[in-house]
Amino acid sequence: MLFASCRRPRSVRRTAMAYSRLVPARRRIDPAAGARAVRRWAAGGPALERRALATAVRFALEELTACAPGRAVEVRVPPYGVTQAVSGAVHRRGTPPSVVETDADTWLRLVTGRLAWADAVNDGALHASGERCDLSAYLPLLRV
């Protein structure tokens, strides 16, 4: 039995076991493929195909999570991805206390150092709310 040494009530054990079966393992983009997608985005040229843009954004989100582990801030880059990062208060349900939301191009410009955090906020290209939402200490994340 999975929770044999646990002193939780039976109903809690069943819920935990059911939850562990429903939650998939965290997907990880291959670092080489992610870096290649970011380089393709940085090279500019013709419009980047949606799949490559999604890979670049998700890879950058994963790098943020690796650099700043935690669940205090939710970073959203619709429609490509979302992650929770930065240590602090743990968010589990509902709207998180700190949220950062931006588009794919702005996110990639931020993580590659082509755009400063303050400039993105002032231009309205990035919406940040909450006490730990300033991610400027972690940027840039990637060198291209």
Q: Looking at the domain assignment, is residue 111 inside a domain?
A: yes
Q: Looking at the domain assignment, is residue 22 inside a domain?
A: no
Q: Is 112's pLDDT higher than 90?
A: yes
For 8, counting Cβ atoms within 10 Å of its Cβ (0-12 exposed, 13-18 middle, 19+ buried), the class is exposed
Which residue range forms the structural domain that includes residue 55? 27-138
- Tally the domains of the chain: 1
Q: Looking at the domain assignment, is residue 144 inside a domain?
A: no
What digits encode the pLDDT tens for the residues 9-66?
344 444 444 444 444 446 689 999 999 999 999 998 677 889 999 999 999 999 999 9
Q: Looking at the domain assignment, is residue 126 inside a domain?
A: yes
pTM higher than the cut 0.95:
no
Q: Looking at the domain assignment, is residue 12 inside a domain?
A: no
E-strand stretches of the chain: 73-77, 81-85, 98-102, 126-129
E-strand stretches of 21-135: 73-77, 81-85, 98-102, 126-129
What digits encode the pLDDT tens for the residues 68-105?
998 899 999 999 999 999 988 776 777 778 999 999 99
The amino acid occupying position 113 is G
CATH number of the structural domain spanning residue 54? 3.30.1050.40
Q: Looking at the domain assignment, is residue 38 inside a domain?
A: yes
